[in-house]
Amino acid sequence: MKAPVMERLFYDFKGRPLDAFEFESLIRRRKRDLHVKDTYLHRPGRVIRVSTVLLGVDYSFMQDSPPKIFETMVFEHPQGNLGGIQLRYSTVKEARLGHHLVVRSINKVLHRSRPLICHGRKP
């Protein structure tokens, strides 16, 4: 007896369900760039990257909740205590707001009154 296979749907930036071929086409059209926003914060001797992307797959792990298809992650070089932060969202609006709040929070931790942003991208 075979175990049931859990079907995983893909999603676009607007949260619309896609099949695997449609999602592959989306990736190709965007040249593999699924960033919602990408921010670099520079401090002497370290660089912190806050990256928010479309995952395209539901990572909510809860049947009755909206799909979590966006993710913000923090990377730090050299590795410090800020790297590894990870948050997930259901909409691009939540993802943009979450990205902004993470950047603002990190700047507060770093005792900065204004962010040192190198660049950011939007879909």
- pTM here is 0.81
Position 78 pLDDT exceeds 80? yes
What's the mean pLDDT in 28-50? 90
Burial group, residue 21, by CB count within 10 angstroms (0-12, 13-18, 19+): exposed
119 occurs within a structural domain: no
* Domain boundaries, position 96: 10-109
96 occurs within a structural domain: yes
Give the number of domains in the chain. Answer: 1
122 occurs within a structural domain: no
120 occurs within a structural domain: no
Provide the token pair at 1.
């007896």
32 occurs within a structural domain: yes
Position 108 pLDDT exceeds 70? yes
Q: Report the alpha-carbon distance of residue 11 to residue 89 in Å, rounded.
A: 13
